[in-house]
Structure formats: structure tokens, C-alpha cells
A and B are shown apart, each in its own frame.
Chain A
Amino acid sequence: MDMEASKKKLGLKERYNHLTRGLDWETSYQPMEKVYPYTRYEGIKIHDWDKWEDPFRLTMDAYWKYQGEKEKKLYAIIDAFAQNNGHLGVSDARYINTLKLFIQGVSPLEYMAHRGFAHVGRQFDGASARVACQMQSVDELRHAQTQMHTVSNYNKYYNGMHNWRHWHDRVWYLSVPKSFFDDAMSAGPFEYVVAISFAFEYVLTNLLFVPFMSGAAYNGDMGTVTFGFSAQSDESRHMTLGLEIIKFILEQDPANVPIVQRWMDKWFWRGYKVLTLVSMMMDYMLPKKVMSWKEAWEIYGEQNGGALFNDLARYGIRKPKGWEQATIEKDHLSHQAWATFYNYGAAALFHTWTPTEQDKDWLSEKYPASFDKLYRPRFEHWEEQAKQGKRFYNTTLPMLCTTCQIPMLFTEPTDPTKICYRESDYKEEKYHFCSDHCKEIFDHEPEKYVQSWLPVHQIYQGNCFNPGVDPTAPDFDPLRAVLDFYKMNFGRDNFDFEGSEDQKNFAQWHGEGA
């Protein structure tokens, strides 16, 4: 052969093939089904893993180079932030509550994504699919760790962050994100990537990160902006992977289409429900607001998602079933969520408050169809009560949806004044749901969802008290006992922002007196 011709400079695609796909081989001392045991039971048919297209074609040399550079920049800013008391530069101490929600609810999911992609990055039969998932696995670890390092500095000065690990695995509202990821990870590898790479990363992640990070930028939190945007540069790769995965699975066999469609219906809805927390963060928790949840849904949901599903129509894929309902709910989601947390402010690990006059006017402007009519009166009533020294705290436990685990706070799609309840019977037991879609998810896999560790059920079953606590004692205070079990610093981590230690310290550190 002509050595020189063979040694000519290879193009990106060809070089990538040698550096990745060429490494793999068909095993013969152990059967392939035993080496890759998990990729057959879901019913997805793959005929040719080589049809997998690798959009970014990153090899380790480039990966280390670019990621190393990103990390160098990021840690320089984290260091500067700590040295200069950067936390005092944020718009208002209310803002810090968004970071509490982030480290309690989102960072633990980044870690789960790390382990989940390690699993599929080992299990997929195709070499380049494995490598793409492996890179995502270490990227996700990066996100979890850089978030710890960024929030670490806030944790030194503010409450509601110090015990995130313990809380995420126990506290009532945190079982929403926890069960979401446990659900994906306990599914088969194909469902996992459809759930996380496609439904979450591709369809929904813009709704989480872009408003969060623009919000951080607008509210003077440079540390968070930096980790957020730095993480987003990885997300762009992950999103592209998500779309590639869907195309690959759909093109492999027509029998895959209905399976994937069902997963899209399920995971769009599961992901959307988790984003309820983001909606209230955008509309109520950012002191300086970037855009409303409704606007974000219109741009990143309706427009971009619309373009995507329009494109996927050629495979016989339609929009997820819950899409229309999400569009109807865009006027209500954030208000109903924040009102609920305001209610349960004694049992939440961040502060809540009623919107200021300026906030209310902004909400009226952004939600002309719903805020003044339905939600303003409610917040003004609570505001009035608080002024009279009767800040309202709900101390009864809410009923949870068995699927998404959110308290039953959502209204009927056709009537925003009526709470939506659905139920199913399974093996002589009754299960409750917040929506038709959550009920449908349960009905398809009841044997999975009956396992749910529902925080309120667990409390009633006596599983959320510290050892030695006597629930039959005459002075037994169940709520207080549960909050002890949560390891909440009672009076510091919870209650209204008004009068909180965070509020006092922030003002004092700004020299505004105690």
C-alpha cells in the first residue's frame, strides 16, 4: 500500500471513527448479550449501532483541553467571589432563597445524572453512544461539584443550605425532584436517555437554566452565573446528544416509534411537573425579574418545542400528551405553587413572603388573564393577616400525587377555581393523582409507582420521627417532631423572610443596622 497516501491528514469525522468506534470489538469468550445485558428488555430494536451519528466528535485530547480551560476560568471567579464577599453584591437577601432551592433540589439531580450516564455509558452496545454518555457522566459530576463549590460560600453566611443531602432524601417537597430522577434511573437504559437526554435536556433544560442564570446575572450573583453558563456549554453537547438519540432510535425500527412516543408523553409531564419549582422561582423569588414563567414557556416551550415536534413529525411522532395542558396552565402554575409554599412556610427550608407592591404590578402586567382576578386577592389577604401579626401557616399535611409527589394544589384545566383530583384502584388500594397525565403514568406501571416513598404517607406511618420520640405523649407536636427528623434549624431555616436571620444579617452586613 501507499504509506504516504494512508497517512494523509484525516478529517474530523474519519479521525473520530478511528479514535472511538475502532476501539470496540465483538466479544467471543463471553456472549454479547451477557456483556451488554440490559439493552433488550425494553422492546427497543437496534439493528445497526454504527448508524449512530456523533455530532460533536470530541476526543479526550480536546475534551481535556477545553474543559480544563473552562474550569480554570470558573474557579478563578469562585475564588474572587469568596475573597470579596461576593454574596453581599446580590440585589436582595430574598434572592438567596433561589440558591437554596437549587442546592436542595437541582444539584442532587446533577449527581444522579452522573451515575445514570455512567450506567448507560457502560451498557449501550454501540461504542460511540457509550463515549457520548460517558462524557456526559463526568460533565454531570462537574456540575454537581462546581455547584457545591459555588454555593459553599453562601452556605457559610446563610441558612437553608447546610444539610441539602439529608433534606433531599427526606423532605416533602424534595421528593418531587428525587422521585423524578429515581424514576428515570430505575427505568431501562433507552427509557433513561429518552427521559433525561431528550425530554429533560433537550425539551425542558432551557426553561431551567437560561432563566435561572439570566436571573442570577440580573440579581448580581456572578458566582452562580459563571457556574451556570459554564455548565450550559456542556449542556449544549448534552442537548445535541438528546436529539441524536431520538433520531437514532426512531430510525432503527418502526416498532420503536410507539414506545418512544409513550416515553415522551410520560417524561415531558414528569419533567414539566418538576419545573413547577422553577416557575415560582422566576415569578416570585427573583427580586429583579428577567422574564415571567409564561414568557419562558412561550419562547422555550411553545416556539422551540413546537419547532422540534414539527420536525419529528416525519417519524410519526406527535407532541407529548400533556403539552396542551401545560400551555393552558402557564397563567396559573407559578401562582398556585408559591401560594402553596407560602402556606407551608413553616415546613419549608427556605423563606417565603408575599409579593411587594412592585412585584404585584409586574405580575398583573405579565398575567393579565389571571393574577388580578384569582391570585392578587389571596396574597393581599395574607399580607393583611401578617400585618395584624397573624402570619398564616398551614400545619396540616397535604395529600400528595402518587406519581409526581406534588401536593394536590393544581386546578382543573377547565376551571382555575377547582382543585383537580384523580384516583385509581390497584390491588385493593386507592391512589391519588393531581392530573389525568399523572394518573395515566401510574396506570401504565402501577407496580413501579406503588413503591413511591411518599413523604406524607411516611410521616403518617411514623417513619419520620427521630428514634426515641413518643407519638403518644400528651405534649407530642407531630409537625415539630418531623422537622426535627428533617434536621431543620427551626426558626432559622424556615418561616417568613420578614424577620429572618438572613434578612437581619444581610442588612447588618450592609451597614444598615440590626
Chain B
Amino acid sequence: MSNVFIAFQANEDSRPVIEAILEDNPGAVSNASPAMVRIDCEGQLVIRRESIEARVGRDFDLQEIQLNLITLTGHLDEDDDQLTLSWKQ
């Protein structure tokens, strides 16, 4: 199965999002390059609203991640609670 990835601007707003992703996706690996952090994961990667809320201590709308998003690959499916990136094969 191929990797999916997602990359964020390296800043304070992205930190809890990145932490949540790394904890919720055991296979996820993060790579830092100038001003940007990229997270790779085999097959599928999930971003959970609740995990981010637990870190920021307030309500979090998953659409907020768009503020610091740089790029992503894979099929995207989003509802109120989670955002999933995946390859089907």
C-alpha cells in the first residue's frame, strides 16, 4: 500500500494538530523541512476532532486546519468528527 501524506506550516497553530495525528496514527512519521512539517503514513491517515480538542482545550472545527495546510495526497473524506486520507489500493 502506498503512503498518503499531509503537510502543515510549522507554527504554533499546527502543533496540536500534528501531535494529535501522530498519536492517533501509530504508523505516521513526521518530517520537518524549512517552515513546513510533513506527515507520511501508509495507506490511511485520520485526523480526529476530539484529539485536537483535547489538546487545545476548546471546540475545534476541523475546517480550521485549512488555515495552515500546505498539501496532501490521497482520497479525502471529511465529516464533523474526522478527516480521512486514504488510497484505495
Contact = CB atoms under 8 A, between A and B. Distances in A.
Direct contact between the two chains A and B in their complex (CB within 8 A): yes
Interface string B60-89: 010110111111111111111000000111
Contacts of A290: 33-34
Interface in B32-72: 33-36, 61, 63-64, 66-72
Contacts of A11: 79-80
Contacts of A218: 34
Interface residues of B, number: 31
Given A66-B64, A239-B71, 18 more contacts: A11-B79, A13-B79, A55-B77, A55-B78, A205-B71, A213-B35, A229-B9, A232-B71, A233-B67, A233-B70, A236-B69, A237-B66, A243-B75, A303-B3, A304-B5, A310-B2, A310-B87, A310-B89
Given A239-B72, A314-B89, A57 B80 contact: no
A232 B63 contact: no
Contacts of B76: 55-56, 240, 243
Contacts of A215: 34
B89 A313 contact: yes
Given A210-B70, A236-B72, A307 B2 contact: yes
A232 B7 CA distance: 10
A69 interface: yes
18 contacts: A12-B80, A55-B76, A56-B63, A57-B78, A58-B63, A62-B63, A210-B7, A213-B36, A215-B34, A229-B35, A232-B70, A233-B70, A239-B73, A304-B3, A304-B5, A307-B73, A307-B74, A311-B2
Interface string A195-224: 000000000011001100111011000000
A51 B25 CA distance: 30
A235 B71 contact: yes
Interface residues of A, number: 41
Contacts of B89: 310-311, 313-314
A225 interface: yes
A311 B79 contact: no
A311 B87 contact: yes
Interface string A1-39: 000000000011100000000000000000000000000
A70 B33 CA distance: 22
A324 B65 CA distance: 36
B35 A314 contact: no
A310 B74 CA distance: 11
A220 to B, nearest CB: 10
A62 B80 CA distance: 14
A229 B78 contact: no
B39 to A, nearest CB: 13
A308 interface: yes
